[in-house]
Structure 1
Amino acid sequence: MIIAVSGIDTGIGKTEATGLLARAVMDAGKNVITQKMVQTGCCGIAEDILRHREMMGCGVLEIDRQGLTCPYVFPMPASPHLAARQEGVKVDPAVIERSTSELQQRYDVVVMEGAGGLMVPLDGDLLLVDYLALHHYPLVLVTSSRLGSINHTLLSLEACRRRNLPIAAVLYNRFAEEDAVIAADTRLFLEKYLRSTSPGTPVIELPDTRSRVTGETARQLARAVISILP
């Protein structure tokens, strides 16, 4: 089983959400691993993979050192297509697919984090959303409470709908909250919108993904994950 994680923008909380999802799957008794499709802005082991392992409560794995959990790491902090170009290479979707397939053979669940926002180009010809739609991966979409999120979220949902990409859940990340009134209204609007356009798709609030999520939020997260597991 593969669960994809993307967001309405870069820096929206995908990495923390991926770690939390993996932890929820672990708590449900499944053997789980995380994958980062492309990492930019660092060298060596992908920094997002390191954060996943921290949140999962485990150390760096040999498959992390081998690059299996993140087949592309580029030093330039930019869109994958540009970061790759600066290194004289091109992101090959088949390489990502092979890594995912090998992980899937070893684990019950692969939680796969994208790079940047949902519409980011992996190379000059392929957008992240098109790659996910090609494989029909259930998507967990991370949004936020900041001004502009309603627009970005609805555009992202529409892009998924046009491609028949299934939305498993929307994670509402409040870590960047700037205005309590806007934050509350944004969540209410998104919940109402999803009830009319995608009944059954939960909006799960993450008060602060920089710390461990517990209580009812953790239970909601676990239920959302378990509901899409075979």
Structure 2
Amino acid sequence: MNRIFVTGIGTGVGKTIISACVTTALEADYWKPVQSGSEEGTDTQTVRALVPEGITVCHPEAYVLKEPASPHLAARMEHVTIDTAEIVRQAGLLQPARRPLVIEGAGGLLVPLTDDILTLDLVRDLGAGVIIAAQNYLGSINHSLLTARVLQHAGVPVIGWIFGGDYHTNEDDVVRLSGYPRIGRIPQAVEVNMAFVQQQAQLLSAPLKALLA
């Protein structure tokens, strides 16, 4: 599976750090096709600073929106039309050698990209397998299992879960009830830098490659 889509159970659950770790573990390329809230910096800039130079290519976004809002709302406010067919076309151009491509989504699966198209629709059109980023907080079991159920009903292949933050037994319940495997977990760090990402990537490498085989 050469396209890996990283989604989250909500906003702020560590998708970008997880994307950097997965990208490093697989020596893949990275792409965030739709970025909103760009005035606060972009996720591509963050990942570029965390992955090894000379291995990973961090491709430029297809759409960059200033407003920190859902892509469909930010695009509406900035008079931009997001064309998901164009995103799929660009994805094909980014993989001429079938190199793995880690694609980071904006928010969760049911975040609208346009008035009619959800992130889930784009995942299906890309033919990507999904890694779900999750953290423990009040309500996270519900958010996690809702995300899993949506993917199950949509028939989208799921690689597994990567958890972040402090460990909680909730993780075990989410894995058991969803039926999707735990790839690993990324602990809370005082400082997230390239050394930390490389350390976590080494731990994720074997389970990731086994699940992708």
TM-score normalised per structure 1: 0.81
How far is the alpha carbon of 1:82 from its aligned partner? 0.6
Distance in 2 (CA, whole Å) between partners of 1:58 and 1:164 is 36
2:204 aligned with 1:221: yes
Distance in 2 (CA, whole Å) between partners of 1:90 and 1:206 is 36
The equivalent of 2:34 in structure 1 is 38
2:44 aligned with 1:49: yes
Distance in 2 (CA, whole Å) between partners of 1:11 and 1:107 is 30
Count of matched residue positions in the alignment of Structure 1 and Structure 2: 207
Question: Is this contact kept in 1: 2:33–2:61, CA < 8 A?
Answer: yes
Question: Is this contact kept in 2: 1:7–1:142, CA < 8 A?
Answer: yes
Unaligned stretches of 5+ residues in structure 1: 27-31, 178-182
Distance in 2 (CA, whole Å) between partners of 1:69 and 1:141 is 23
How far is the alpha carbon of 1:43 from its aligned partner? 5.2
Cα deviations across residues 21-77 of structure 1 (Å, max 9, x unaligned)? 011012xxxxx2100020011159x71111111111228x9x86xxx5311001100
How far is the alpha carbon of 1:109 from its aligned partner? 0.9
How far is the alpha carbon of 1:133 from its aligned partner? 2.2
Unaligned stretches of 5+ residues in structure 2: none
The equivalent of 1:101 in structure 2 is 92
Question: Is this contact kept in 1: 2:3–2:127, CA < 8 A?
Answer: no
Runs (4+) off by over 2 Å: 133-136, 208-211, 217-220, 227-230
Over aligned residues, Cα RMSD in angstroms?
A: 2.4
Distance in 2 (CA, whole Å) between partners of 1:225 and 1:81 is 32
- The share of aligned pairs that are identical, in percent, is 30
Distance in 1 (CA, whole Å) between partners of 2:161 and 2:45 is 24
2:119 aligned with 1:157: no
Cα distance change of structure 1 residues 220 and 192 upon mapping to structure 2, 3 Å threshold? farther
Cα distance change of structure 1 residues 107 and 58 upon mapping to structure 2, 3 Å threshold? farther
